[in-house]
Amino acid sequence: MFLSPDEHRDKLVSRILMAHSQDEVKRFVDASIDALGQHEMGDFTIWGFIDQIIDELRQFDPMCQDSSQWSNIKIARIQLNRIRQQLIAAEGQTHHYV
């Protein structure tokens, strides 16, 4: 079943908050981005998706989260930024400027 980008994002954020380890957070993030790629979403759509999740994760108040949730939020933001940088680097490699 294909989820809309908003549903996909909500599901990922929920999984991030409930993850039991940093490795689990990374797997959820990677699987989510891979799923978008399998549905042939373009890089710009994926970048927008990543940016929206990062923005949503920034809005969480550390005082309202337990320590494991806050750790999950931080590792998810790091992982999402890494993926975004990889996409940017890959996009740059596909364009040959003269």
66-89 per-position pLDDT tens digit: 999 999 999 999 999 999 898 888
**Using alpha carbons only, what angle is made at residue 50 by residues 24 and 39, rounded to the nearest 5 degrees?**
85
Residue closest to 30 by CA, chosen among 90, 73, 88, 84: 84
Residue closest to 51 by CA, chosen among 33, 37, 31: 33
In the predicted model, is pLDDT for residue 94 greater than 60? no
Evaluate whether 70 touches 79 at the Cβ level (below 8 Å): no
Per residue in 5-60, pLDDT (tens digit) is: 788 899 999 999 999 999 999 999 999 988 887 766 666 678 889 999 999 999 99
Give pTM, 2 decimals.
Answer: 0.85
Q: Where are the domains of the chain?
A: 5-59+76-92
pLDDT of residue 5: 75
